C-alpha cells in the first residue's frame, strides 16, 4: 500500500520532527516520495534522510509558525501535508497541578496545533488540496489510564488532566476544521495513539502496561503508518475522524 511514489511531489511539514514519533513520521513520508520539513525546538539526534529538512520552530509562537509555513511555500511552491506531532507530557494528579504547568501543556499541545493548522490553511485552500493529521491520544477519550482507587501512585506516575484535556481539545478542533475545510479539498483527521515506547514513556508503570490487550506498548513506526494512511491522496473521503491506534486499550 505504501509505495515509494505514494507522496511523490508532495511537500509535508512535520512538527515535533526531532522526537520519536515525529522522526518516524518524517522518515515514512520521505520513503514514500515526499519532501519533508521536520520542525522542532531541538535538533534531531541522528542525521536525517536527504529528503528531510530540519528547521527550528516553537509552535507556541504565532509569528514563528507563520514564518515557517511561508518559508516552505516560498521554497517549494506548496504545502500539501501538515502533521502536528509537537507536544509534551505532564504527570501527576489534578490536585497537585500548578497553574503554570496547565498553561504550558495547553500552549504547546493545543494552541501549538491550532496555530500550525491556521497557518497552513491558506496554502492548502488555494491549491484545492491538503492533508492535516493531528496527534491526539487515548487519554483525550478515556479519562486516563491510572486507577487511583486501587493505587494512588499510578496517578502520580502517569499523564495528568492537563495532558488529557489538551488532547481532547485536538479531537474537537479536528471536527471543526474538517467541516470548515472540506469544500476546499482539505481533510483534517486525528491519530490517537495509546502508550508508545519512547523517551517520554520510560517511567510508564508496568501495571498500566499490563492493561494493553496486545501485551506491549506501541512503536513509533506503527503510529507513522496510521498517519501515512490518512495523509495519502487516496484517503480523500476520510475527514473529521479520530483513528485509534492503541493495541485495544480503548475502542469507540
Q: What is the pLDDT of residue 201?
A: 73
In this structure, are residues 54 and 18 in contact, taking their beta carbons and an 8 Å threshold? yes
Q: Over range 9-15, report the average pLDDT.
A: 98
User: What is residue 146's predicted lDDT score, i.e. its pLDDT?
Assistant: 83
CA 44 to chain centre: 17
What is the distance between the alpha carbons of residues 75 and 204, in angstroms, rounded to a whole number? Answer: 41
> pLDDT tens for residues 231-244?
999 999 999 999 99
User: Taking residues 195-220, what's their average pLDDT?
Assistant: 86
pLDDT of residue 199: 73
Pair 122, 152: CB distance under 8 Å? no
Q: What is the mean pLDDT of the chain?
A: 94
Size of the chain in residues: 252
**Is the pTM above the cut of 0.75?**
yes
DSSP letter assigned to residue 48: P
DSSP state of 106: I
**CB of 44 within 8 A of CB of 85?**
no
- DSSP SS3 for 56: strand
- CA 150, 151, 157, 160 dihedral sign is positive
Residue 19's Cβ-count burial label (10 Å; 0-12, 13-18, 19+) is buried
Average pLDDT over residues 82-108: 96
- pLDDT of 3 > 90? The answer is yes
| 163 is a catalytic site residue | yes
CB distance 171 to 190 below 8 Å: yes
Residue 106: pLDDT over 70 = yes
Nearest alpha carbon to residue 41 among 58, 24, 19, 60: 58
Termini Cα distance of the chain: 26
Cell of 142: 478515556
Q: What is the pLDDT of residues 52-67, one digit of tens each?
A: 999 999 999 999 999 9
Task: Determine the 3-state secondary structure of 33 from DSSP.
Answer: coil
Q: Which of 54, 76, 163, 176 is catalytic?
A: 163
Write a three-state SS string for 190-201.
EEEECCECCHHH
pLDDT band for position 202 (cuts 50, 70, 90): confident
The beta strands (E) that lie in 125-233 are given as 130-135, 186-193
pLDDT digits (tens, 9 = 90+) for 119-155: 999 999 999 999 999 999 999 999 988 898 888 888 8
Rounded mean pLDDT of 70-83?
98
* Count of H-run helices and E-run strands, the chain: 8, 7
What CATH topology corresponds to 11-244? Rossmann fold (3.40.50)
Residue 73 — very low, low, confident or very high, per pLDDT cuts 50/70/90?
Answer: very high
Amino acid at each position: 500500500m505504501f509505495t515509494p511514489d505514494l507522496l511523490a511531489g508532495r511537500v509535508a511539514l512535520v512538527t515535533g520532527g526531532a522526537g520519536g514519533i515525529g522522526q518516524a513520521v518524517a522518515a515514512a513520508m520521505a520513503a514514500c516520495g515526499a519532501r519533508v520539513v521536520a520542525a522542532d525546538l531541538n535538533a534531531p539526534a541522528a542525521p536525517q534522510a536527504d529528503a528531510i529538512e530540519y528547521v527550528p520552530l516553537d509552535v507556541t509562537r504565532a509569528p514563528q509558525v507563520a514564518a515557517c509555513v511561508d518559508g516552505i511555500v516560498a521554497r517549494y511552491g506548496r504545502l500539501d501535508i501538515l502533521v502536528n506531532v509537537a507536544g509534551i507530557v505532564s504527570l501527576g494528579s489534578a490536585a497537585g497541578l500548578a497553574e503554570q504547568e496547565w498553561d504550558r501543556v495547553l500552549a504547546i499541545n493545543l494552541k501549538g496545533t491550532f496555530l500550525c493548522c491556521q497557518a497552513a490553511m491558506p496554502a492548502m485552500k488555494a491549491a484545492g488540496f491538503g492533508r492535516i493529521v493531528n496527534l491526539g491520544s487515548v487519554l483525550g477519550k478515556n479519562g486516563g489510564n491510572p486507577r487511583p482507587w486501587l493505587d494512588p501512585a499510578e496517578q502520580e506516575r502517569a499523564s495528568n488532566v492537563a495532558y488529557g484535556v489538551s488532547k481532547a481539545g485536538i479531537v474537537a478542533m479536528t471536527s471543526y476544521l474538517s467541516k470548515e475545510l472540506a469544500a476546499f479539498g482539505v481533510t483534517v483527521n486525528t491519530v490517537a495513539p495509546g502508550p508508545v515506547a519512547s523517551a517520554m514513556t520510560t517511567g510508564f508503570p508496568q501495571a498500566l502496561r499490563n492493561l494493553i490487550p496486545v501485551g506491549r506498548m506501541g512503536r513509533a513506526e506503527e503510529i507513522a503508518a496510521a498517519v501515512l494512511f490518512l495523509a495519502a491522496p487516496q484517503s480523500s473521503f476520510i475527514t473529521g475522524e479520530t483513528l485509534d491506534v492503541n493495541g485495544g486499550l480503548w475502542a469507540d
